[in-house]
Amino acid sequence: MMDSETADVNQMIEELDMNDPSAALLANELNNFFQELEEIQTEDILSDADIIRLVQEDARDEDESSDSKDDTLVSPGDTSKSLEIWISFYEQQDDNEFHAEDLKLFKRYFKIIKRLE
């Protein structure tokens, strides 16, 4: 029965118009949901309330982990490495959208970060 339901869901996902951003987002969320659902290990049959509780706990855990990432300070060493890579990339570009004035600005920030480091 589970295989039949999975096939039905997969068919619904395939029928979505992937050119529509909302449909593509829905398909992605459904796929993520079913992948995570397979990770839930239980021998009991879950009620609707149990499923809602699991989803809410998972969402709360994700919120907490994203909050802790926001509080992490970026070190001057990491910043200088990132700026150095960006400057190298910027210097290699031939496109008119990459202006020399902007490159000077990045280099100025790079010098500031090196002093902090």
Cα–Cα distances in angstroms (integers) from residue 113 to residues 34, 37, 59, 74, in the given order:
45, 45, 37, 11
pLDDT at position 106 over 80? yes
Alpha-carbon span 23 to 19, nearest angstrom: 8
The Cα 88–Cα 107 span in angstroms is 10
**CA 107 distance to own-chain centroid:** 29
Given a contact cutoff of 8 angstroms between Cβ atoms, the answer to whether 84 and 110 are in contact is: yes
The model carries a pTM of: 0.38
Q: Is the dihedral of CA 94, 96, 97, 99 positive or negative?
A: positive
Cβ atoms of 26 and 16 within 8 Å: the answer is: yes
pLDDT single digits (tens) 28-77: 777 777 677 655 566 677 788 887 888 888 888 877 766 555 567 888 88
CB 47 within 8 A of CB 56: no
| 92 membership: H or E segment, kind and range | none
- Any idea where the domains of the chain sit in the sequence? 1-39, 46-72, 76-116
More confidently predicted of 16 and 97: 97
Q: Average of pLDDT values for 20-30?
A: 77
**Confidence tier at 1 by pLDDT (50, 70, 90):** very low
Q: For 71-90, what is the mean pLDDT?
A: 85
The predicted pLDDT at position 69 comes to 54
Instruction: Tell me the pLDDT tens digit for each residue of 2-11.
Output: 567 667 767 7
